[in-house]
Each structure stands twice: as C-alpha cells, then as structure tokens.
Amino acid sequence: MEFHLKTSYLYKNQLYPGMESHKSFIIKLSLFNLGLTAMGTQIVMIREFLAIFQGNELIIGMFLGFWMLLTATGSFLVTKFFQVRSSQFAVPSSQFPASSIPSFHCSTIPLLQALLGLLPLLMLPGLLWLHSHFIPPGVMAGIDDIFLFLLIVLGPFCLVSGFLFPIMVHELSALHDKNLIHKGYALDAAGSIASGIIFSLLFLFILNPFDSLLILTCTCFFNAIAWAWGQKRKIASLALLVIGMVILVISFIIKPDELINRLSFENQQVLEVKASPFGKLTITRLDEQLNLYENGVPVITGDDPAFREESVHYAMLLHPGPEKVLLISGGTGGTIGEILKYPVKKIDYLEINPWLIRLIDKYKPFIKDDRVKFIYKDPRIILSRAGQKYDVIILNTPEPLSAELNRFYTLEFFLLLKDKLNPGGIISLSVPAAGNYMSETSRMMHSVLFNTLQTVFGFIRIIPGDKDYFLASEIFLDNSFLQKYPSVGFTNVYVNPSYINEDLQKMRSDLIMKDLIPEAPVNSDLKPYIFSLSLKQWLSRFKVDFRAIPIALAIFIVVAFLFLGPLNLGLFAGGFTASAVEFLLLIWFQVMYGYVFQMTGVIFAVFMAGIAIGSVLMHLVNKGTFRGFLTLQAAIASFAALLAILMLIIPSNSAHWTIIPLILALVFITGLLTGAQFSLSGSLRKTSIRQSSGESFSADLLGSAIGIVLASVYLIPQLGLPVTGMVLAGLNVVALGVIYVKGR
C-alpha cells in the first residue's frame, strides 16, 4: 500500500509525544459525528420533502438517490482533484511528494465541520422558500421542480459530508501509520445508528424539525472547536465558539419554527403542528374553514357533504338492515354522523393514527355516542386477529398513490374483509372518478380493482359519483338503492331522489363496465399493480414517460459494468443491492404493519449497525484475498435470492410480532455483508488511503443511489417484491462473473 507517512514511532515519540491518543479520539469523534449529523439531517428532511410534495415512495427513492449521488460526488472530488496535506493531527505535509494537483489543507477541517453544522439550518427554510416562490399555490410541483429542489437543497450539505469522509479517514490512518478505512467506515456507521434511534424514538415526539437540526448544529460546532483546539488554533476555536453562540441566540429570537409554518401554509393561520410516528400533522384555519394536513396531504378541508354522504349511503341503503358497521379511516369529515342516521347498534372506527383523531377532536369535537368505538390500530392487523363480523364495511382510505395505501386495495386485504362480513354483508370503497372518458391509466386501475374484487366476491357494482364507488358482496347488488330512501326517516343533501337520477347513473356505470379490461391483472401485496398505475398517472401529469427513468438508470449500470475496475464494480453492485434490499424490506414491513414512518429511522439504524460490525469483523478475520471478495459477492447474490423466497413463503397477512425481529435481522445481515465488502475492498487496494477511501465511498454510494431509485420507481411497482429480489440476485451473479474476468 502506497502510504507516504513517517513511521509511527517517529510520529509518536518525536513530533507530538504523549498526545496521540487525544488526537485519535478527536478524529474518531468527528467521524462518529459525521454519521450522526448525516443520518439525523436525512431523517428530518425526508419527512419534510414528503410533506411539502405530498409524496409517495417515488419521492423517498429520489431523495435517497440524490443524497447518495451527491455524497459520492463529494468523495470523488477529494479523490480526483485534491491532494490531502496532513494536518498537525498526522504528519507534516512535507512528507507528501510534490504534485501539480491542487492541495487541500486539512487545517480547514474545522471550518468544514462548522459548515456541515450550519447547512442543515438553511435546508428546511430554503426548501420552503423555494417552494413558496417558484410553485404557485394549488399547483403540484413537477418532476423537474423536485429534481432541482433536491439538487439545490441537498447539494451543499451532501458535498461537504462526502468531502469530509475520505479526508478524516486519511487523517486517522496517518495518525496510526496504517490503513484504517474499515474503522472510519464503522465509526461513521455508529454515528448513523445513534442518530437513527434517537431521532426516530425520541426527537420525533418532543422536538420540531428545526430544533432537531439545531442540536446537530451544536454537535458539529463542538467537534469543530475541539479539532481547532487540538491543532493549537485557539483564536479559531474562540471564533467558532462565538459563531455557534450567535446562531443559538438568533434561533431563540426569530423563532424559526413559526417562520417555517408560515412558509408552509401561506395565507392560513397555523393553529398547531404535531409530529406523529405516521407523519407530520398540521391544523390550520382559513377564514372560518378548519383544515387538517397529514404530510402535506389534506385530510379535512372544510365541509364536504357530497363525499361523506356518497361514501356512506350507497352501501347502507343497499343493505336491508345494517346494525354493525366497520369504518376504516376517513371518519374525520362527518362520516360517523352519516352512519348514525341509521338505527345501528355498533360502529367500530379503525384509525391507525391516534394523534390525528386527538388533534381533530381538540378543534372539531367528534359526536359522542356510546355506539361508536374508536380503535387505534392498523386495520390489517386488527382484522387478522379480531372475531367481530359486520353488516357493512366502509373503506375510506385515500386513493392508493403510495405502496403504503396500496395495501388496502389488494387481494389479501379483500380476503380479510370478506372474512369479517356477516351473510349478505357489503363493502364499499372508492377511486378517483373516471368521468365521461377514461384515460388508459384510469381504465386499467378500474379494471385491476374490479378483477381483484371479483376474485373474492360474487357480485360487484360500480356507482359513479364525485368518486367511483365499488360495492362488493355475496348477494345481488343491482337493485335500486333509492327505493329504500323514503322509509329511512332522514333527509340527505346529495344522496336523494331529487338530486340523483338512477337511470342516468346506471348508464354511466354501464359505460365504465363496458370499458373494463377482462384480462387485467390482480393487485396483491407482493405485486402492487395499482400503486404502479398511480405512479404512472402521477408522472404523466408532468409529461414524463414512465419508461425514461429506468432506461436512463440501466444505461448507468451498463457503463459501470464496462468501465469500473473489479473492486469498484463489486462495491457498486453491493451498494446497489444493499439500498434496493433495504427499501424492499421497508416496503415488506409496511405491507404487514403499516407504520413505516416510525420504523424508518430504526431500520436505517439496524442497517448501519450491520455495516459497522461487518466492517470491523472483516478486518479482524480477513487476510485480504481476492477470492474472499468474490465469495462475498456470491453471498450477496444468495442473500437476495433467499429474501425473495422468504417473501413468497411468509403470508403477508400474518403480521405476528415475530416477523418484526425477522425483518430487522434481514436488514442487519444486509448491512453486515455491505460493511464486510467495503472493509475487504479497502484492504485489497494498492493506492493511497485518500484515493482508496474516496473511490470506495463514491463507488458504494453511486451504486446505492441508482439502486434505491430504480427499486422504488420501477422494479417494485412493476415486478413486485419477490421478483425484485431475484433480479438483484441475478445482477450480483453477473457482477461476480465480470469481476472474476477483470480481476484475473
């Protein structure tokens, strides 16, 4: 290994006697803080991007992809354009050979650390300012807008973060006169572990986003001051301390959280913002209208009698005598009051997010009635365990614009609903109205939903309205729902004979039925076809060809396989697989349990724990052979195939508590293999520590960026979860062959 350093003996005993352990501690603390800050900022900002852009898994994939790509760029810049001059933490810069490449003085590391701490405070206000000034109110941001915002908002922070990693690993290795890439990787991962746990399980509940970022700013400035002090730059240390104190004072004076709320909801009075494990909740008032937003998506926007009446009365009027009703979500806009118009004996209201109900009840109290029972659990979990049966089940979840919501429109979920119906029971659900002319995407969505329901129920009826309502039952449903209306003893605004012409409505229904595609596929948990259609529809609004993104990424993969060296190609394929598998497991967890927002940070932390332990273990047991690198690549391929098999074996409706440790164990193994591969790659390289760490980090992150975007945009929506696992296995088998040929 090319290592232009003085011997450890000379360094420890002549240059800085007795101070090596102190300097080592500061460098290790800085690497730990780098992971802590990066992961914490990522968790906070990804939730804010989802809230602002009303996003789905595509936004998550784009965010993580840009994050990794920009961080990889920072590491690449260090590798290619700067020769690192070791600071006083290592050896004199004179020990490095002269070079025409521009020099980067590591004495500026404290400034970079302070910048790393300052940038998160600018990211959130900057994002909101960009959105409010460049996206007109009521207009959805396009893909190009999101790309630009990601680049502007994430770019500076990720570049600095990627820049710092190889520099600090170089410093640590120089200090100890040996290759410590594995230790730097493990320390960075350890910081990410701590951040994932702290932010997901603590800060999420007690702090607003800006205050969480402010804590990270404090840790970065602390490290910058300690580093400058260790370099005996007392004036710089004092200056950084003063700057840090000024930032804290300004933050307390201007109350940035109030500024952020005003930018997020212009022209509305923000009454309260509440963080929950399921997303960010905001209550606002516009004139006399009360609005509730969950992750930026409106849950309540004033009074909508058409929605609440149609969602309830079509099913209730068709049932001869509904006594027990199950309402799944959507009970916040007066739906419960509509159900109570009937002489029902029991209403069970399932809502996964109790924080949402408590917040609404605080400003717009629910009807108090002993017949209504609120159940704060995931509908799929409670239905798989409860023995209660119902006459009518009303599904009022939002349209399936995400994989999280797709789980309520699948074959497996409909089987659960059927099992909970009394004889003659009816279920009701809706999708966006087809209108007078169905687009191809809308036609396919209606067809897939109809075919999925028809697989479970004997009779399906579509009633067009503000939305298209699908009613399903084992009894005949083609009779008039308005025939019963005169005898019910109450008056509706919209669902009544004066407003609805059933003959005209039946004509519209027949047109929809005529356009349905008989051979359309069935939507399932492991192949979320309706979600893929929603994704296509979402992209089509901005005239983006759904095929363009995977084709562009496929070209990147081919180029990587052709031009990367064997070690970098292995890290590229390993990073690609690790990020895709992590996302795959995240979606699998979401299918079963539904509360992925609460677990995202925990899953990230477990993944980083695997990376840290894998990196250290490989360094302890490995002798640095290329054969071992090939074996690891084969292990990654085998693991991806095993994951696909497990998904096929384990029923998605079996949300037993034992599945959670299994998924976390699989996440840990993913990180373990990734960390081991990274560590082994570092020990096999023949270049300098700076170049080795920079190349390793950038190759790994580049593969991770492409993997997470391709998995979220195309592989999982189009192919399903198990097939995606097999594709990842195949990719690594091909990579194994190419690496073997290139490495001979």
Decide which of 470 and 302 is more confident: 470
> What pLDDT shows up at residue 655?
63
* pLDDT > 50? residue 6: no
Beta-carbon contacts of residue 415 (< 8 Å; ≥ 6 apart): 456, 653
Q: Which stretches within 106-180 are classed as H helix?
A: 109-134, 143-176
Give me 568's structure tokens.
């970098």
Of the pLDDT bands very low, low, confident and very high (cuts 50, 70, 90), residue 12 is very low
Separation of alpha carbons 380 and 350, rounded Å: 10
Residue with tokens 């109790």, as numbered in its chain: 354
Separation of alpha carbons 467 and 433, rounded Å: 4
Q: Which stretches within 286-439 are classed as H helix?
A: 305-318, 335-339, 354-363, 379-385, 403-406, 411-419
Decide which of 131 and 316 is more confident: 316
Q: How far is CA 284 from CA 49, 210, 290, 636, in A?
A: 19, 19, 6, 49
> What pLDDT shows up at residue 368?
85
Kindly state the DSSP code that residue 11 receives in the 8-state scheme: I
> What pLDDT shows up at residue 154?
93
Residues linked to residue 269 through DSSP beta bridges, in sequence order: 285
> What pLDDT shows up at residue 9?
36
Asked if 598 and 660 count as a contact pair (C-beta separation under 8 A), the reply is no
* pLDDT > 50? residue 546: yes
Separation of alpha carbons 552 and 545, rounded Å: 11
Decide which of 539 and 191 is more confident: 191
Of the pLDDT bands very low, low, confident and very high (cuts 50, 70, 90), residue 113 is very high
Give the rounded distance of the alpha carbon of 305 from its chain centre.
Answer: 34
Residue spans in the chain of domains classed CATH 1.20.1250: 1-8+18-264, 547-744
3-state secondary structure 31-75: HHHHHHHHHHHHHHHHHHHHHHCCCCHHHHHHHHHHHHHHHHHHH
Beta strands 297-301 and 289-294 are antiparallel
Residue with tokens 């102190």, as numbered in its chain: 22
Kindly state the DSSP code that residue 375 receives in the 8-state scheme: E
> What pLDDT shows up at residue 97?
38
CA dihedral in degrees (675, 683, 181, 680; nearest 10)?
0
> What pLDDT shows up at residue 645?
95
Separation of alpha carbons 30 and 26, rounded Å: 6
> What pLDDT shows up at residue 690?
63
pLDDT tens digit sequence for 416-460: 999 999 999 999 999 888 877 777 888 899 999 999 999 999 999
Which of 320-334, 533-547, 560-574 is the least confident region? Answer: 533-547
Q: Which stretches within 348-396 are classed as H helix?
A: 354-363, 379-385
pLDDT tens digit sequence for 72-111: 888 888 766 655 444 444 443 333 333 333 334 456 788 9
> What pLDDT shows up at residue 636?
95
Q: How far is CA 227 from CA 20, 27, 182, in A?
A: 13, 8, 22
Q: What residue ranges in 255-353 does DSSP mark as E strands?
A: 269-276, 279-286, 289-294, 297-301, 324-328, 346-350
pLDDT tens digit sequence for 318-343: 998 999 999 998 887 788 999 999 99
* pLDDT > 50? residue 1: no
Asked if 697 and 188 count as a contact pair (C-beta separation under 8 A), the reply is no
Q: Which CATH number fits domain 304-526: 2.40.50.140, 3.40.640.10, 3.90.226.10, 3.40.50.150?
A: 3.40.50.150
> What pLDDT shows up at residue 516?
92
> What pLDDT shows up at residue 81?
61
pLDDT tens digit sequence for 388-421: 899 999 999 887 877 778 889 999 999 999 999 9
pLDDT tens digit sequence for 144-167: 788 888 899 999 999 999 888 888
- φ, ψ of residue 686 in degrees (nearest 5): -110, 10
> What pLDDT shows up at residue 302?
61
> By percentage, how much of the chain surpasses pLDDT 70?
87
> By percentage, how much of the chain surpasses pLDDT 90?
28
Asked if 393 and 470 count as a contact pair (C-beta separation under 8 A), the reply is no
Separation of alpha carbons 59 and 535, rounded Å: 11
Highest mean pLDDT among 91-100, 192-201, 460-469: 460-469
Separation of alpha carbons 104 and 216, rounded Å: 26
- In angstroms, how far apart are the furthest CA atoms of the chain? 99
Decide which of 54 and 132 is more confident: 132
Mean pLDDT for the stretch of residues 651-670: 83
* pLDDT > 80? residue 676: yes
CATH 1.20.1270 fits domain 547-744:
no
Mean pLDDT for the stretch of residues 176-192: 83
Separation of alpha carbons 496 and 485, rounded Å: 7
Residue spans in the chain of domains classed CATH 3.40.50.150: 304-526
* pLDDT > 50? residue 192: yes
Mean pLDDT for the stretch of residues 206-230: 87
Radius of gyration of the chain (CA): 28
Kindly state the DSSP code that residue 472 receives in the 8-state scheme: E
**Mean pLDDT of all residues belonging to the chain:** 82
CATH number of 1-8+18-264: 1.20.1250
Give me 569's structure tokens.
């190609």
> What pLDDT shows up at residue 392?
96
- φ, ψ of residue 271 in degrees (nearest 5): -85, -40
> What pLDDT shows up at residue 16?
42
Q: How far is CA 257 from CA 121, 260, 411, in A?
A: 11, 5, 43
* pLDDT > 60? residue 11: no
pLDDT tens digit sequence for 596-632: 666 777 888 888 889 888 888 887 776 678 888 899 9
> What pLDDT shows up at residue 56?
66
Dihedral sign for Cα 692, 728, 733, 609, please.
positive
Mean pLDDT for the stretch of residues 275-303: 75
Separation of alpha carbons 280 and 275, rounded Å: 5
Q: Which stretches within 594-658 are classed as H helix?
A: 596-621, 626-649
> What pLDDT shows up at residue 129?
82
* pLDDT > 50? residue 492: yes
